[in-house]
Structures are given as structure tokens and as C-alpha cells.
Amino acid sequence: MQLEKFTYDNKIVRNFGLATIIWGIIGMTVGLLVAMQLFKPGMNMGNQYTTFGRIRPLHTNAVIFAFVGNAIFMGVYYSLQRLLKARMFSDVLSKIHFWGWQLVIVAAVITLPLGFTTSHEYAELEWPIDIAITLIWVVFGINMFGTIIKRRERHLYVAIWFYIATFVTIAVLHIVNSFELPISFLKSYYVYAGVQDALVQWWYGHNAVAFFLTTPYLGMMYYFLPKMANRPVYSYKLSILHFWSLIFIYIWAGPHHLLYTSLPGWAQSLGVAFSIMLIAPSWGGMINGLLTLRGAWDKVRDDVTLKFMVVALTAYGMATFEGPMLSLKQINGVAHFTDWIVAHVHVGALGWNGFLTFGVLYWLIPRLYRTELYSKKMASAHFWLGTLGILFYAVPMYWAGFTQGLMWKEFTAEGLLKYPNFLTTTLQIIPMHVLRAIGGALYLGGVILMAVNLAKTMLSAKLVANEPAEAMPLAKEIVDTDPADKKWHRVLERKPIKFMVFSMIIILIGGMVEMMPTFTIQSNVPTIASVKPYSALELQGRDIYIREGCVNCHSQTVRPFRSETERYGEYSKAGEFVYDHPFLWGSKRTGPDLHRVGGKYSNAWHFNHLLDPTSMSPGSIMPVYPWLISQKLDTTTTASKIRAMQTLGVPYREGFDQQANSDLKVQADSIAKDLNQNNIRVKSDREIIAVIAYLQRLGTDIKANKSTIPSNQ
Amino acid sequence: MFKQIKDLAGGEFYLITSLLIFMVFFLLVGLYLLKLNKNHINDMRQLPIADDQIPTPHEEI
């Protein structure tokens, strides 16, 4: 056989690299803005499109799917071609993938500030964009598997296993977590409700971290680190064990996000047990990475790319140790809903994802342009700015998390809550939030420095758009002369589709064991007779609550701790959420839990609080919501919303959709009348009336008859 | 100690079964690794550094 000449497509790698840098700066700038809003509410700009609740998801989507997403594709498109000794399957598909992904991100940038959100964390985008994501992901898959099929290297290196697992698992997660019933072009309801919705969401949320922020990056680590250090990976055996254990275990750990909620106890414990087990494969990867540098540590002193990689691996090790620790119920009881979780996430995001991306960019861009990096000094300055930024971010957030978590639980000698006013605990940690923003600014400053450095590098030379290469083609018929070649894993390494199917089975086992019982066994979600569907006005109010992103700061699940039942009221029961499409339990308490807020304050209190929170809670950092008073409630959607809920099994009576708006008007008039009696003149057709109706309903279904309510066990 | 995995009101079945499934899978992968051919491992380890990378001018010097 003769050597075949071909070229690698470097242009698509460069394009994804550029998109990584640009979206990184945008996403982190929005992050800095939301960080500042938490100590200076004026930064919300009194504008509905820039309030925390709407742009916090913009930040998370931009950094996860735009910054990290483009970085993944950059790394995959570069390494896949070289590991397989083949150009990407189709240049057209590469372009569709690139531009399609950027369009999805632009759609997110437009729709999220406008308030179009599903409210599922890290899956906020509405159904048409979900479909677009699916299509683009399929294009990516065809392009990847097409390249694998036309490869000139018989065996698939471990990095490619991680890419395949990423592709198949993200596809499964995205599809299962996107079962929504559309009611209009940009509004839908999840088909799951309450506890089941929570389980699906956190199965997705946790594994989005696993298979979007971790496995593709491990694949990139297994390719780029040996290249940078110019030595093979420390242990190939460890990489195999690490790979299979990681993808098997990760998928089970999602319920650790729902400890002490009304999720069935066995599912919570399953999440805890597998989270602890997860330390082993995670650290297997970290150790394999760090030991790859054995004998090359002297290079770390001079080579900035290796510096970034070492910090990235260390951050990965820290985050993956901390994650399992946080899943222990005793620690989770204090840490959950606090800034501790924000710190944990950012050690992973800034350290592992950010620094690995920067290391790869600094290594890759000069090679794509066949030149040298414009300034090593600038890169070194970036490294230190970024490292300091991570420290200034994480340490104050840990401090804030400890402080607030303990303050929530502290009782006086007389047995009363020491800090009964939630706001006291928020104000206590404001200085930590200022320091966090400084950390974020340092980190962002480093990224801007990198952008200048890489731009100068690119401008100083010409892109090698089509890099020449040559390799022997694969024989059409493979004869296994070595008996070892017939072993199952060796066969799998040569058969990408079988490999994908096997990986999918592995990840489906965990998901199914967790979800099937919760979905099929009635006793796992005890029903409560007094829990009724929301009224039409409350349903509309709930959708405004979702639109404004209130769930980003307020949880709706009271945990069974004395400190919480004293503060909020009866702990939450699974049966209370059966009509909640979607669930709104939240994951962070920047403000207090709202599950039992119904009836706690007057309508007038809520009105004044939404208009100007500081008027009711001096010092509050909640944004103002004056537009809820000026904007008219859109009641044209009521009938379709009721019909959608009926389709999903919510027991509204037959024909209620036609009567819903007149019911809505009666309830709205009564709230407006009550406000009027308190000297607040507001028309009954305003959005604020619906929000007040919803807030006043929250948690009231079981207040009257506590004794007849089944516990979560 | 171990209250979290013992005291589950009938849910132990799911937990123990899950752990058993993992143990069996882990042992199978472990067994495979023990039998793995050394030459194959060396070939696979070299894959990323063996590809024909064009060097930067700095590396050529």
C-alpha cells in the first residue's frame, strides 16, 4: 500500500478557537456584572432585561455552552484529525456545525434577557432552540463518526473514547431533559412535574457537568498534555479504568443535588454513595495527568502552557474531591443553597475548564499559524492574574458560604433563631461578594490579555488553513494475527459504533435505576388530597415568576431541619409539587425560601416589596420590579396554558379553559380591591396582581391540615 | 455510622443492587486490564506524540 497524502482542516479549529475567546470575554463580563449586582443592586439598571434573574442564566449559558462548548469543538476538531490521520469527514458539516452553534448562542443571548426561559438550570433555552441544539449536535456526531470511519489509524486512542461518550451522553441528557409541551413559539411546559421533574433536571444538571465540562476536557487533556510535555501518558491502563469507571459512576450521582428535599430517601442515598465512589475515577484522571509530567517538571518552569495545565489538573482534583464531600448529608445540610456551592463550581469552571482552555489556546494558535506566541511575558502575566483571580474568587465565597450556612442554623440559648431575619445573613457576607467580584475582574483581565496576545500572534503570520499530512490507508480487510486483537476491548477500540452503543448502555443503567422507580411506583410520591391545581391567575403569576428568573435567588423547598421549619414553616412534601410543571425548587438562596410564603405577608407588603424591596426590607439587594405594575397581564394565553396543563394530567375540570379568564378576573379584582383598601391604586389587569396571587398561594395547600399529610418517607 | 445506606425504609434494594452492578462491571474491566498486552499499550500511548505535527519555527531551531 502507498502513503496517502491529505490535509488537516485547521481553519475550522481556528474558527472555534476565535469563538472560544470572544464568547469567553462576553460570558465572563456578564458574570462580573451579575457578581456586582449582588452587592450593588443599582447595577441591575432598573431594567427588566438586565436584572439578575434574567442575566444570571445568560452568564451560565454563555460560559458553559459558548466558551467551553467552542473550546471543546476546537480541541476535538484538532486532535481527532491527527489521532485518526484523516481530515474531518465533511468541510460543509464542519461549517454548519460552527455557524449553527454560534446561532444557537445568539438565540440564547436574545431570548434569555427577554425572559424566555424553561427555568431548568443550564437548560433554560426554550423548545425551538432545544430542537436547533439537537440538530447541530447530530451534525457534529455525523462529522465525528464520519471521520472515525474514514480514518487511517486502526485503534481509537483514549481521548476519542471520551469524545464518543460525550457525544452520546449529551444527546441522551439533552433529549430526556427537553420533553416539553409547547404552548406558543417561545413558551412550553415540561411534561414532568414536581419531584420527577427535579430528578430529571438534576440527573441532567449533574451530568452536564460530567459530560460537557469533564469528559471532553479529559479527552483534550489526554491528547494535549502528552503533546505539550512531549512524553506519553503515564498509564494507559489507568486511562481505561478511569474512563469506564467515570462514565459508569457519574450518571448515578445527580440526586446529591436534592438532599433533604422530598425526593425519595433511597434515591438521595444512591446519589451520595456514588458521589463518594466518584473520587476514585476522578482522581485517577488527575493523577494520570500529573504523572505524565514526571521527569518533565523542569519544563513547567518555562512553558506557560504546562503551567496552565498543572493548575487545571490541580483544580480538577480539588473540585472532584470537594464534590463528593459536599454530597455527604451532614456537610450538604450546611453548604447547600450557599455561596460554598458557587465557589465549588467556579474552582472547576475557572481552574479546570478555563485554565485547560487557555493552555490549549496558547499551544494551538502558534501552531495553526506556524509562528511563535507574540509575547510569553503577557502569557505569564495572564497565568498569574488568572491564578490570583481564582483565589480571590473562591476563598471569599467559601468564607461567605460557611458564614451564611452557619448563621441560618444558629439558635439562641432560649431556642429561638439567632438570625430570624434572612436579610441579616445576606448583609453579613456583602464584603465577600465585593472580593469575589475583584477576583472575577482579575480573571477577566487575564483573558483580555490573552485575547490581545493571541490576536497579535495571529496577525503576525498566515493561517496554515490546510496542513499537509500523509499516512498509510487502513487495509480493507483486517486479519487479526495476534489473539489479543480479538479481545472485547480491542474489538471495541476498532468499532466506533459498537463503542458508542456500549457507552450508551453503561450510562443508561444508572439513569434508569434512578428514574424508573420514581416514575412508576406511586408510593414514591405520596399524593395529598388537599393539594389542588393553581388558579388561572396563579398559573399566570407563576409564569411571570419563571420569566423573571426568581428561582435563581429563591428556593421553594423547605428542608426537614428545625432551623428551616422555624424560619419558614412545615417542611416540603413530595405530594405538594404534583402540579408543578416545571418544579421551582432552585439551588441557591440569595434570598429566603418561598415555599411557605403564602399568607405570611399582606398583598400590600408584596406590592411594595416588588416595587422597591428596600421599602419593606431596608438594605435588601433584590432588584426593583416596577414594570410588573406598568405591564398588562397577557390573558390571551390563559386558555392554551390550561389546555396544556390538562394534557399533562393536571385535573382542571372539562371546559375550564374557556372559563379560566373570567375566574382570573374575579381573583384579580379581589386582590386589586384589597390593595385599594390599603391605599394602593393599581388596575387589576397588571402583572403584579398575578405574581401576588401566586406568591400568596405558595405552600398554603397543606397549612390547614398538617396532621393528615403523609411524610416523605 | 452507615445510617444513610442502611435506614432507607425499603429502598435498600435499589442501593445494594446498584452497588453490585458497579462491582461486577468494575471487576470485569479490572480483569481485562490485567490481561492487556504490553506492546499494545505502548503503541496506544505513543499515538498522540507520534502524529506528524508541523513544528513551530522555534521547535525547528
Question: Per mean pLDDT, which range of A31-45, A482-496, A558-572, A681-695 is the poorest?
Answer: A482-496
Chain A / chain B CB contacts < 8 angstroms: 122
Amino acid at B26: F
- Three-class SS of residue A444? helix
The pLDDT confidence band at residue A483, using thresholds 50, 70 and 90, is low
pLDDT at A702: 82
Residue of A nearest to B52 (CA): A469
Rounded to the nearest integer, the mean pLDDT of chain A is 93
Q: What is the pLDDT of residues A102-135, one digit of tens each?
A: 999 999 999 999 999 999 999 999 999 999 999 9
Distance CA A184, CA A272 (A): 39
pLDDT at A514: 73
Flag whether B52 is in a domain.
no
- Name A461's Cβ contacts closer than 8 Å, sequence gap at least 6: A369, A370, A371
Flag whether B54 is in a domain.
no
| Probe site for chain A from B51, B52, B61 (most A CB atoms < 10 A) | B51
Distance CA A131, CA A536 (A): 29
pLDDT at B61: 37
Flag whether B2 is in a domain.
no
State whether residue A372 sits within 8 Å of chain B by CB: yes
State whether residue A236 sits within 8 Å of chain B by CB: yes
The mean pLDDT value for A441-467 works out to 98
Measured between CA atoms, how close is B47 to chain A, in angstroms?
Answer: 7
- Three-class SS of residue A660? helix
Q: Are A25 and A361 in contact (CB under 8 A)?
A: no
Q: Are A407 and A418 in contact (CB under 8 A)?
A: yes
pLDDT at B60: 45
Residue A103: how many other CB atoms lie within 10 Å: 13
State whether residue A245 sits within 8 Å of chain B by CB: yes
Q: Between chains, do A273 and B5 touch, taking CB under 8 Å as contact?
A: yes
Share of residues in chain A with pLDDT > 90 (%): 83
pLDDT at A481: 60
Domain segments of chain A: what residues? Answer: 7-116+128-154, 296-474, 536-708
- Three-class SS of residue A184? strand
Residue of B nearest to A241 (CA): B29
Residue of B nearest to A249 (CA): B22
Distance CA A98, CA A654 (A): 48
State whether residue B6 sits within 8 Å of chain A by CB: no
Q: Are A598 and A698 in contact (CB under 8 A)?
A: yes
Flag whether B33 is in a domain.
yes
The pLDDT confidence band at residue B29, using thresholds 50, 70 and 90, is confident
Q: What is the pLDDT of residues A227-261, one digit of tens each?
A: 999 999 999 999 999 999 999 998 888 888 989 88
The mean pLDDT value for A52-77 works out to 98
- Per-residue pLDDT for A705 more than 70? no
**Start-end of H helices in A48-126:** 52-61, 69-84, 91-114
- Per-residue pLDDT for A708 more than 60? no
What CATH number is given for A296-474 in this structure? 1.20.210.10
pLDDT at A655: 95
HSE-CB for A671 with a 13 A CA cutoff: 31
The residue among A376, A392, A478, A466 whose CA lies nearest residue A432 is A392
Give the domain extent around B17: 13-47
Q: What is the pLDDT of residues A663-674, one digit of tens each?
A: 999 999 999 999
Assigned fold of A536-708: Cytochrome Bc1 Complex; Chain D, domain 2 (1.10.760)
Share of residues in chain A with pLDDT > 70 (%): 95
CB burial of A18-45 (b: ≥16 within 10 Å; e: otherwise) equals bbbbebbbbbbbbbbbbbbbbbebebbe
State whether residue B17 sits within 8 Å of chain A by CB: yes
- Per-residue pLDDT for B1 more than 90? no
The mean pLDDT value for B48-58 works out to 64
pLDDT at B22: 83
User: Global pTM?
Assistant: 0.93
pLDDT at B38: 84
State whether residue B24 sits within 8 Å of chain A by CB: no
> Could you give the number of structural domains in chain B?
1
Instruction: Give how far Cα A197 sits from Cα of A534, A570, A651, Å.
Output: 17, 22, 18
The pLDDT confidence band at residue B10, using thresholds 50, 70 and 90, is low
Question: Per mean pLDDT, which range of A120-129, A171-180, B5-14 is the poorest?
Answer: B5-14
Q: Are A409 and A446 in contact (CB under 8 A)?
A: no
pLDDT at A99: 98
